[in-house]
Amino acid sequence: MRIYKTVDKNIDYIKNINHNSSDIVSRIITNNNIKIGYVYLESVTSDDKVSEFLNKSIIGKNTQDIFSNIEDSIYNSHITTLKELDNIFYYLSSGFTVIFIDNYDMCITVETRMSLDRGVSEATSEPIVRGPKDSFTENNAINLGLIRKRIKDENLIFDEVKVGKRTKTKVSVAYIKDITNSKNVIKVIDKLKSIDIDGILDSGYVREFLRDQSSTVFPGMISTERPDLACTSLLDGKIVVLVENTPYVLIMPGLFIDYFHSPEDNYEKPINASFLRLLRILCFIITISVPALYVALMTFNPEIIPDELLISLALQRDGVPFPTALEILIFVIVFEILRQADVHSPTVSGSAMNIVGALILGDAAVNAGIVSPIAIIIVAVTSICELVFYDVDMINAVRFWRIIFIIASLFLGIIGFVSCMFIFVTKLSSIVSLDIPYLTPISPLSTTGIKNYLFRIKRTKLNNRAKYLTRNIKRMVSHEKTNTSN
Amino acid sequence: MKRLILVISLIIICTGCFNYSELNDYAIATGMAIDKSDDGYEVSMLISNSPKSSEKNYTTVVYSGKGKTIYEAIKEIGLISPKELYIGHLSILIISDSVAKDGINSVLEFLLQEPRSKKNFYVALSKDNKAKDVLSITSPLTDFPSQNLATNLKDTTNLQGSISAIDFNTLLYKLVNKGVDLTLNGFVIVGDIKDGVKESNMETNKPASYIKLTNQAIFKNDKLIAWANKNESRGINIINDKIHEMYIKVKCDNGFIVVDTNTLETKKSVDKKGDVTLNTTGKASISEITCDIDLTKPSNIKRIENKVNNKIQDLELKAINLSKKYSTDIFGIGLMYYQDYPHIYNKIKDYDKFYKNIKFKSNVDIKINTSGSIKQTLKNIEGSRYEEDN
């Protein structure tokens, strides 16, 4: 729809489409008998900016060729000229002020956005000891800035897609053009464009549309609030998807091995980082299998337990009214409840939580003979090992499979455990993320992948990027070892 | 997800939780004793997980049952015990000598049949006492009686040289194979049995009674035929290459010299005629001297070495004489001969006679490589300077 030539009609039109919303502010100025009007939404617009920049440039202007005259004299770099009324409300909601002038079927939009964001603060969900402390925010421009200031390369590209019929959320796809596989970029952008939804409020919405298959609990992409992790991934040849209004960005592809990493690994000595990665793998195995193994050994295969331990276990179990599996399941669930309560409770009630958790559920339950001490130890070990992972999706997947393992062991003992392990590994190997098998670099084997991601070898020896992520595998600018200084 | 649900439901349908059992429903038997009773056997089980007292970690109970067969007797225990008997963690089996004299094949049958029993528990005999009593005696040093027996058997192997721990697997190997006969260790009870089974026996620092390992019993087929004495037991162990460390005491002018041998190794070989050569090698260190001898002289060391060699040869000869006396092949010569010359072995009609005529030739070569901390005996260095070592 074309813009009307009279100011009043235009302003009425805008008020009408928003049904006279209370935050619409408009003013009409008559300048040498030519009506100039402007409209903005006071909820997202800074009044100061409007008064400062607009009024000065509108009032008292020469009437000859007034449109370009005003356009040229506004002290603002963010100016667009529109000819259609259709898209006008998007501009208004984004904090723009729209200027209409009589006899012109065009309008000028000026950026007068109010800052509705908190500043860059410390990462809360992924704290590390050593390394950069900043985190992404809810503001898209700041988020892009946090990446841009780390990678000052002309090949770093941000592609923007607007998603959501009503929210019209900006979703930016960041990649380094000469490293990232362009096929994947096209695929991601196509998928983003084909999203049919009324609103996007967090990257969690986008994730469900971006994943390759929906039948797995394992996450196919990493979500992080750390710009340093996003930049490391970009340099490795991955794609980062930034969604407006959320500090959590998505990194694609997210392979199984990536969840055993911490951004800190890159800042520590290689041997320590490799050790920590192996430790996390051990924790994964413990957290997923220990309760199930306990149930299997206690109820089907006590032959495997050493003599003295068996007698001690049998004595501890004596008098507990529940079967072993139920005992473990109850406590696993009780722990999850405790954690949920802890996550969402304000810090004021934290100490009360501690008392309930530590004293009543631990010590008192044992003394009352409801659970055996060993069951508490088992659940405690599993839960502690689970907390090693910082990715919430991974923790959820682990929790899901742990319960499946317990159920399999409950019905079939060690045989059930082993068959469940088969199903688990089969399931893991069938997942793909952006056409890359989930268990890469272990299966299919990739030596550069192992050097980069399973272990972390010395950076001076880390010449290549992983082949499965990028075709441009040379990480170092020059491979030749030159004897510089000394 | 659908497939996963299918798999889980299949797990439930296909099994029905066979052999599911909670651990606290078991009475865990860690020791088993077999005695003779009027009409068959008396089997005793040592149950280790009885939560009788809350202060102590372990308290044990011995249940026994009688029956014509072992299985019957065990089921008899089932009537007494409130929990299901579980023998998967048996750590020791004690057979009384009276049962062993009649043959142990029929006794072991059950343990071999039972799928849940592990095959690596130790087997020993009780000498002159009921096996049940050996099982019941408590020891202040270990937590529960069967553990006491098992560790005693396992750890003493190295000290005296007269003990060799035999587990169920080895026992079956020796019973089933032709050309090798069995030896087993025995336990005796020292002291008063009645006081020994009381729990107070664990609390005093001077136990009223305790169990002691004794010498080896030799078997012919599955029957106990004789007890070896201490020296014969040591000889058996040396020839069978069961021990690698033992002490040897030899006489010298007016006292004794004790040496500790280590890395003791015996290799057996048999020739076509059936004659056996024993090669024993090893190293030794001097532990105690109570006679006048100057260790700084190499010739004296050589003399001690010769004496030790003779002593070991003597021990071996005693063991050989014992086995020839009862014509029981405890060294497994027949098996070796069969493996090397199967055709000749198969032609032998009277193996006992053949065995008695076998000539044993023994070569012993022990080297003394350290002579201890002091080069001379305390008597000899009297009067010389000795600095106090703080």
State the ipTM, two decimals.
0.72
pLDDT above 80 (res B227): yes
CA B271, CA B243: separation in Å to the nearest integer? 25
DSSP string, A395-446: HHHHHHHHHHHHHHHHHHHHHHHHHHHHHHHHHHHH-EETTEETTTTTTTT-
Map tokens 């023998």 to a residue: B87
Yes or no, beta carbons of A411 and B144 under 8 Å apart: no
- Which of A164-168, A185-189, A236-240, A353-357 is the least confident region? A353-357
Q: Which residues pair with B225 in a beta bridge?
A: none
A94 touches chain B (CB under 8 A): no
Yes or no, beta carbons of B19 and A300 under 8 Å apart: yes
B52 touches chain A (CB under 8 A): no
CB A252 within 8 A of CB A433: yes
CB A170 within 8 A of CB A186: no
Give the model confidence (pLDDT) of A246-256 as tens digits. Answer: 999 999 888 89
pLDDT score of A239: 93
Q: Which of A300, A318, A412 sits opposite B11 (nearest CB)?
A: A412
Q: Which of B17, B24, B28 sits opposite A320 (nearest CB)?
A: B24
Yes or no, beta carbons of B57 and A215 under 8 Å apart: no
Query: Which chain A positions have a beta carbon within 8 Å of B17's beta carbon?
Result: 411
Q: In 3-state terms, chain B is what percent helix, strand and coil (to 5)?
A: 35, 30, 35
C-alpha distance from B48 to closest chain A C-alpha (Å): 7
- Which of A58-67, A192-201, A408-417, B335-344 is the least confident region? A58-67
Yes or no, beta carbons of B143 and A308 under 8 Å apart: yes
Yes or no, beta carbons of B51 and A299 under 8 Å apart: no
CB A55 within 8 A of CB A36: no
Average pLDDT (A151-178) is: 90
Q: Which of A44, A95, A19, A35 is nearest to A27 (CA)?
A: A35
DSSP string, A310-339: HHHHHHHHTT--S-HHHHHHHHHHHHHHHH
Test the A interface: residue of B55, B89, B119 with most A CBs within 10 Å: B89
B5 touches chain A (CB under 8 A): no
Yes or no, beta carbons of A303 and B28 under 8 Å apart: no
pLDDT score of B201: 63
Q: Which of A412, A147, A210, A142 is nearest to A299 (CA)?
A: A412
pLDDT score of B351: 81
Element (H, E) at A39: strand A34-41
pLDDT above 80 (res A173): yes
C-alpha distance from A411 to closest chain B C-alpha (Å): 5
C-alpha distance from B123 to closest chain A C-alpha (Å): 17
pLDDT above 50 (res A481): no
Yes or no, beta carbons of B4 and A404 under 8 Å apart: yes
pLDDT score of A146: 92
Query: In this structure, what DSSP letter does residue A451 have?
Result: I
Q: Where are the domains of chain B?
A: 25-226, 228-379
Average pLDDT (B154-180) is: 78
B30 touches chain A (CB under 8 A): yes
B185 touches chain A (CB under 8 A): no
Give the model confidence (pLDDT) of A113-156 as tens digits. Answer: 888 888 888 888 888 888 898 999 998 889 999 999 999 988 89
Test the B interface: residue of A311, A407, A423 with most B CBs within 10 Å: A311
Longest dimension (CA), chain B: 93
Query: In this structure, what DSSP letter does residue B216 have?
Result: E
Give the model confidence (pLDDT) of A262-288 as tens digits. Answer: 888 888 889 999 999 999 999 999 999
pLDDT above 80 (res A361): no
Q: What angle do CA A438, A444, A450 make, to 5 degrees?
A: 85
CA A12, CA B134: separation in Å to the nearest integer? 107
pTM for the full predicted model? 0.79
Q: Which residues pair with B85 in a beta bridge?
A: B27
B10 touches chain A (CB under 8 A): no
pLDDT score of A147: 93
Query: Which chain A positions have a beta carbon within 8 Å of B91's beta carbon?
Result: 307
B49 touches chain A (CB under 8 A): yes
Yes or no, beta carbons of A313 and B51 under 8 Å apart: no
For residue A89, the SS3 value is helix
- Which of A208-217, A330-339, A473-482 is the least confident region? A473-482
Considering only residues A394 and A342, tell me which one the structure prediction assigns the higher pLDDT: A394
Q: Which of B7, B22, B88 sits opposite A303 (nearest CB)?
A: B88
CA A312, CA A294: separation in Å to the nearest integer? 14
Q: What angle do CA A200, A203, A205 make, to 5 degrees?
A: 50
Average pLDDT (B273-278) is: 86
- Tell me the CA distances in angstroms from A467 to A270, A461, A470, A480, one per residue in order: 21, 16, 6, 21
Q: Given pLDDT bands bounded at 50, 70 and 90, which one contains residue A477?
A: low
pLDDT above 50 (res A486): no
Q: Token pair of A242, please?
A: 């930034």
Q: Which residues pair with B362 in a beta bridge?
A: B278
Residue A425: phi and psi, rounded to 5, are: -65, -40
Whole-angstrom Cα Rg for chain B: 26
Yes or no, beta carbons of B26 and A314 under 8 Å apart: yes
Percent of the residues in chain B that have a pLDDT greater than 70, as a whole number: 82
Q: Which of A300, A307, A324 sits opposite B30 (nearest CB)?
A: A307
Q: Which residues pair with B265 in a beta bridge?
A: B281
pLDDT above 90 (res A389): no
For A322, the closest chain B residue by CA position comes to B22
Chains A, B: CB contacts under 8 A, how many? 76
CB atoms within 10 A of CB A353: 14
B13 touches chain A (CB under 8 A): no
C-alpha distance from B309 to closest chain A C-alpha (Å): 42
Average pLDDT (A168-174) is: 91
- Which of A219-223, A381-385, B203-207 is the least confident region? B203-207
pLDDT score of A484: 43
CB A465 within 8 A of CB A473: yes
Whole-angstrom Cα Rg for chain A: 30
Considering only residues A416 and B190, tell me which one the structure prediction assigns the higher pLDDT: A416
CA B26, CA A310: separation in Å to the nearest integer? 11
A308 touches chain B (CB under 8 A): yes
CB A456 within 8 A of CB A268: no
Query: Which chain B positions have a beta carbon within 8 Å of A324's beta carbon?
Result: 22-23
Yes or no, beta carbons of A215 and B86 under 8 Å apart: no
Average pLDDT (B66-75) is: 87
Residue B177: phi and psi, rounded to 5, are: -75, 140
Considering only residues B145 and A318, tell me which one the structure prediction assigns the higher pLDDT: A318
Q: Which of B22, B28, B86 sits opposite A323 (nearest CB)?
A: B22
Average pLDDT (B145-174) is: 74
Percent of the residues in chain A that have a pLDDT greater than 90, as a whole number: 20
For A324, the closest chain B residue by CA position comes to B22
Query: Which chain A positions have a beta carbon within 8 Å of B20's beta carbon?
Result: 299-300, 413
For A298, the closest chain B residue by CA position comes to B23
Average pLDDT (A360-379) is: 83
CB atoms within 10 A of CB A110: 27
pLDDT above 90 (res B111): no
CA B326, CA B343: separation in Å to the nearest integer? 26
Test the A interface: residue of B17, B30, B49 with most A CBs within 10 Å: B49
pLDDT score of B139: 65
Cα dihedral B87, B90, B92, B94, rounded to 10, equals: 0
CA atoms lying within 13 Å on the CB side of residue A255: 24
Average pLDDT (A442-466) is: 84
Map tokens 């689970």 to a residue: A386
Query: Which chain B positions have a beta carbon within 8 Å of A312's beta carbon?
Result: 57
B7 touches chain A (CB under 8 A): yes
Q: Which of B49, B86, B118 sits opposite A315 (nearest CB)?
A: B49
CATH assignment, B228-379: 3.30.300.210
